């Protein structure tokens, strides 16, 4: 139990350090001031967890692209490819269960659900908030 808590605390702390580099005043870095269900912004999570594969602009050109069996998808055309509306349900399922949830997926895309559950100490509301923040951020990047 103990190492897990320490790991989560370190992770949250380093996330906040990153946020601090942008706009937050320094005193906010103290982890004791973080609410237990603290969830980073969608943009911050995207940069940290997704940009390596999907690219900083979400168009699928991340630096890890060469190492992937299947190229990482362009995430700015999701709405376009789903009848003009950002597919919240679809993206939520991809994040929870992996991109293969509909077919027999076999790509390198991590299944984020269990990772977020672990990071959030099995707080389901926090996990849902993470996914919602990521969806909102991706929604804001959609091509018209
Ligand atoms: C290690 C590389 C990698 C990382 C990191 C990664 N992805 Fe992916 N992602 C992929 C690949 C590869 C695919 C294409 C999978 C396929 O078609 O089977 C994909 C597919 C997707 C899809 C489905 C796209 C579509 O057009 O249907 C979504 C949504 C998505 N990723 C979101 C994310 C988000 C959000 C993150 C960060 C939390 C993330 N991915 C992190 C590699 C990655």
Each residue of 47-100: pLDDT tens digit?
A: 999 999 999 999 999 999 888 888 899 999 999 999 999 999 999 999 999 887
For 52-67, write each residue's pLDDT tens digit. 999 999 999 999 988 8
Best probe residue, ligand 1, of 64, 79, 81, 99 (max atoms within 8 Å of C-beta): 99
pTM of the shown model: 0.80
Q: Are 138 and 91 in contact (CB under 8 A)?
A: yes
Confidence tier at 12 by pLDDT (50, 70, 90): very low
The response to whether residue 10 sits with its C-beta less than 6 Å from ligand 1 reads no
CA 79 to the chain's CA centroid: 18
The response to whether residue 110 sits with its C-beta less than 6 Å from ligand 1 reads yes
Q: In 23-123, which residue ranges form alpha helices assigned H by DSSP? A: 42-45, 51-54, 78-81, 88-97, 112-119
Question: Where does residue 60 rank: exposed (0-12), middle (13-18), buried (19+ CB within 10 A)?
Answer: middle
Choose the CATH number for 39-140 among 3.40.50, 1.10.10, 2.60.40, 1.10.760.
1.10.760
Q: Which atom belonging to ligand 1 lies closest to the Cα atom of 134?
A: 35
């Amino acid at each position: 139990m103990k190492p897990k808590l320490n790991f989560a605390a370190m992770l949250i702390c380093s996330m906040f350090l990153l946020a601090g580099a942008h706009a937050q005043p320094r005193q906010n870095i103290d982890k004791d001031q973080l609410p237990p269900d603290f969830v980073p912004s969608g943009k911050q999570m995207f940069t940290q967890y997704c940009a390596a594969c999907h690219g900083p602009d979400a168009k699928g050109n991340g630096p890890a692209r060469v190492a992937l069996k299947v190229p990482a998808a362009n995430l700015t055309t999701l709405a376009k490819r789903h009848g003009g509306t950002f597919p919240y349900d679809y993206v939520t399922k991809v994040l929870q269960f992996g991109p293969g949830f509909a077919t027999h997926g076999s790509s390198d895309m991590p299944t984020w659900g269990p990772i977020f559950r672990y990071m959030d100490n099995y707080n389901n509301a926090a996990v849902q908030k993470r996914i919602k923040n990521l969806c909102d951020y991706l929604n804001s990047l959609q091509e018209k």
